[in-house]
Amino acid sequence: MVLNYIWIIFFVLAFIVAVIRLAFFGDTEVFPTIINSTFTSSKSAFEISLGLTGVLALWMGIMRIGEQGGVIALFSRILSPLFSKLFPDIPKGHPVTGSIFMNMAANMLGLDNAATPLGLKAMEGLQELNTKKETASNPMIMFLVINTSGLTLIPISIMVYRAQLGAAQPTDVFVPILLATFCSTLIGIISVAIYQRINLLNRTILTFLGGATLFIACIIWFFCTLPQEKIDLYSTTFANVLLFTIIVGFIAAGIHKKINVYDAFIEGAKEGFNTAVRIIPYLVAILVAIGVFRASGCMEYITQGIAYAVEACGLNSDFVGALPTALMKPLSGSGARGLMVDAMNTYGADSFVGRLACIFQGSTDTTFYILAVYFGSIGVTKTRHAVPCGLLADLAGILAAIFICYLFF
């Protein structure tokens, strides 16, 4: 229901702005630009789905081996004490908790291609437990908000972009991104817990959050001790070694259980292909709405309005130049990435705006894209409080990014 309203608002606002630009400013290019954006966005949605097909088939196949080999059940037992608190509606030891963990681990390591199919697999498991198939369940919403908050420990792609654009210290945004995304995730969990009346003040959750904070602090300390040229090397190597270890480990577990790993892989890969086909309409819908919203100039006007309001209050408006990246990130990951690169090209990779754009890019995730893909893959149309909580986590990440960037740079 919320996505329905947002979809309508995007088109209505785009039409109003386009009419104003044509009637009062004689901008005859605005409507052709909007129409062209619909074709471009539709094509982009199909290409994304097509690109996901192979990755989904691969990881759904690997996950099926993991299921039959007992690895997912093992993760479920290990995480049961924590997940029984965060996801009280999931039965203890249920295999879906293993899929949720695998997805979160892939996200934290910046392995987007692996995270999406793992997340879709988790959503399928959660849908099996869902008694109202068209309505998002509480565990689905908690899982999605953690995803949309974008918790990432190793933002390797952002550091690579900074290096390519001539940043003197491409890794200088590593710690700020880590802090900002941690704030986003924490607020996301708290907001969902308030909606769902989950008690976070218990020993299990407090121990986990304390341990996670200590773990992040250790990672920050470790990377701060490394020279610049070693940071990218270590983070990339660690992520790839871990990813391949997971693949080999799942296969080894399947061999140990004496299952036919090849047939198990093929069975799971077929599900991946079907999932990729199912999400095409949902991607077309959300990406076309976003494309129209951008092409009409709505995003630009919103940014300019915020700049004017900030300056009218007598506050420093240096951050406004990077704001398009923050506003675009919940809508489109590739769009936000393009705006981040544009900010670094325009202002300089080592400028305040350039650095802040990078922190914005790493502090949250593409909320509407994730909601469209994950819910669309299982046919959920009533999202309940998923969108408000996801956007609240995004807002927390944006505000934290601004504060932290002023603090560091």
Per-residue pLDDT reduced to its tens digit, 53-85: 887 788 778 878 887 888 877 777 777 787 788
Task: Give the torsion through C-alpha atoms of 324, 325, 326, 329, to 10 deg.
Answer: 120
Q: How far is the C-alpha of 287 from the C-alpha of 332, rounded, in Å?
A: 8
pLDDT value for 252 = 94
Tell me the torsion sign for CA atoms 188, 212, 109, 230.
positive
pLDDT at 196: 92
pLDDT at 22: 93
How would you label 221-253 residue by residue, b for 16+ Cβ within 10 Å and e otherwise? Answer: eebeeeeeeebbeebeeebeeeeeebeeebbeb
48-53 long-range contacts, Cβ below 8 Å, gap at least 24? Answer: 48/283, 48/287, 49/276, 49/277, 49/279, 49/280, 49/283, 50/276, 52/116, 52/117, 52/276, 52/279, 53/272, 53/273, 53/276
Taken in order 326, 331, 336, 339, the sign of the CA dihedral is negative
Q: Which residue has the tokens 């199909």?
A: 46
Long-range contacts of 24-33 (CB under 8 A, 24+ apart): 30/295, 30/296, 30/297, 33/295
pLDDT the model gives residue 396: 93
pLDDT for the residue numbered 179: 84
Do 75 and 102 contact (CB within 8 A), yes or no? Answer: yes
Q: Is 90 exposed, middle or buried (0-12, 13-18, 19+ CB in 10 A)?
A: buried
Task: Report pLDDT for 392.
Answer: 93
Q: Could you tell me if 98 and 74 are in contact, meaning their C-beta atoms sit under 8 angstroms apart?
A: yes
Total-model pTM = 0.75
- Provide the b/e sequence for 298-320 (b: ≥16 CB within 10 Å): bbeeebeeeeeebeeeeeebbbb
pLDDT score at 399? 92
Distance, in Å, from the CA atom of 379 to the CA atom of 234, rounded to the nearest integer, reads: 40
Token pair 């299990």 is found at 204
Residue 404 to residues 12, 347, 398: CA-CA distances in angstroms? 36, 19, 10
**Are residues 122 and 83 in contact, defined by beta-carbon separation less than 8 angstroms?**
no
**pLDDT reported for residue 154:** 66
- Measured between alpha carbons, how far is 235 from 407 in angstroms, rounded to an integer? 25
* Torsion, Cα of 234, 238, 240, 244 (10° steps): 150
Could you say which residues of the chain have pLDDT below 50?
Answer: none
State the residue for tokens 């871990």.
242
**Structure confidence at residue 156 (pLDDT):** 66
pLDDT of residue 10: 85
pLDDT number for residue 113:
59
| pLDDT on residue 324 | 82
Q: What kind and span of H or E run contains 244?
A: helix 228-256
Cβ atoms of 363 and 181 closer than 8 Å: yes
